Amino acid sequence: FDPAPYRTQTNVCSWGVTPDRDFGPTLSVCLRFTAANALIDPGIYTLHSNVRIPPISGVMLATRGFENRPAHRYCAPDGSSGCAILRASHYNLAGPLLQVDVSWEQPSVGFKIESVVFDGNIDVRRAGGRSAYWNDNFGKTSRRNEQSNVIVQNCNSCSFTGMVSVNAVAASGFIFSGADGLFDHTLFQGNGNGLNKAPNFGEWADGLTVVSGPRVRIQSSVFRDNSDINLIVAGAAGGQIVNNYIESNTNFAFAGLMLDNFDISANSDMQGINVEANTINCNLMCGIGLNIGPYIWYWLEFSNGTQNGGSTQLAMINGAGGNVRGNTILRARQGLGVYGAFGFSIYGNQIQESGGFSFNGRQLTSAFDMDDSSRFYGALDYARQGIPTNGVLINNLPINTANGVPTRDINAMMFATKP
């Protein structure tokens, strides 16, 4: 059925919806029959079920009265700023809350979300035996990403302003892919359970996961207490990651900000990216403040570049023409690390009160670290960074030889101690 002939320019999706009613089916239909503006009145809306729609173009989902406002702040997660909140209920044992279905061949174009809160309600949905349900049926399977709050992929020229994603049960607050995306004045907070809360299994979640985002712009946004990587970006050639605030207080994160490729060669292009004027305040609850490159995240034999004892070379990130500059990293267990990246100019970053944690009583973390491969390919401009070559610690992070295959043990950072 093609709803196109029946679409209207503007629909108020929340008409007639009561707080106890499942808003999922109503919103799904509303989005499919809207040509331009799908509006939701301020208030809290319950999602017993989730919203899954085919590729969508030219449509804005927004809180009524907030549409097309200039971005100047994100919504308050508690509703005090008057935004619509879409909150999963304890009946909701599937996910994500909103997904633009990528099984269709055509991309979405120009889809917008403005001033809407997505609340995964982690404490309620993981209460009692439900946590084991999520782990067994999603976390330990190929369906892990379905635990995310929002998945929007293959979406070009799509924008998200004033939007909030909080309390995802695992995986990510928001998974995105597409060219020329924009995240402006957004908030990602409290997604997943970190190792300090769930040490026995990976209930962690990124704040925002950009799987592939050429020319993506992530700006003036806040990433707080997410439990995998607060902000992780791949395939973002020509992108801008500027003026963001990243903070960990009560939920341990493996890293504050990471430039990655997810072990996919096609996502290794970071040429011309600009990572600038971001503040990463770990409060000792991040493993690495700012991580560039994939090597530390994957089982890798550093001496010959093979993975899992096999012959596959792990792709490095190409940052030619890219800058990582003017960022501030505070109180990270490892300040800045470069592992499997080349071509970046990295300079003018302030790294304070970071490093000095011991592993096995001998290995220490540092303010700045890089691996041999990145050093060989000239990832750093030492003079501009202000660190002499002999002052950079090489390969100083811990080695785990489980199964006879050396790898950097990022998990161990949670349990490292000051000597």
Q: What pLDDT, in 10s, does the model give residues 125-154?
A: 999 889 999 999 999 999 999 999 999 999
CA 31 to chain centre: 25
Q: Tell me how many degrees the CA angle 286-291-295 measures, rounded to the nearest 5.
A: 115
Strands, E assignment, 81-186:
84-88, 98-100, 108-109, 112-114, 116-119, 150-152, 155-156, 159-161, 164-166, 171-177, 182-184
Q: What is the model's pLDDT at position 313? A: 59
Which residues, other chains included, contact 321 with Cβ-Cβ below 8 Å and sequence gap of 6+?
271, 272, 343
Q: What is the model's pLDDT at position 366? A: 80
Q: Exposed (0-12), middle (13-18) or buried (19+): which is 134, by Cβ within 10 Å?
A: buried
Q: Longest Cα pair distance anywhere in the chain, in angstroms?
A: 69
pLDDT for 205-222, tens place per residue? 999 999 999 999 999 999
Pairing of strands 155-156, 182-184: unpaired
Question: For 170, how many CA atoms within 13 A lie in the half-sphere containing its CB?
Answer: 28
The amino acid at residue 64 is R
pLDDT above 70 covers a percentage of the chain that reads 82
pLDDT for 334-369, tens place per residue? 899 888 888 888 888 899 998 887 755 556 778 888
pLDDT for 282-326, tens place per residue? 999 998 999 999 877 764 433 344 444 433 557 889 998 999 999
Which residues, other chains included, contact 142 with Cβ-Cβ below 8 Å and sequence gap of 6+?
none
Global pTM value: 0.90
Give me the residue label for tokens 């319950």.
46
Pairing of strands 150-152, 164-166: unpaired
Q: What is the model's pLDDT at position 417? A: 65
Sheet with strand 51-53: strands edge to edge: 51-53, 98-100, 150-152, 171-177, 205-212, 229-234, 253-260, 286-292, 334-338, 368-370, 393-394
Q: How far apart are CA 234 and CA 211, in angstroms?
A: 5
Residue 105 has pLDDT above 60, yes or no: yes
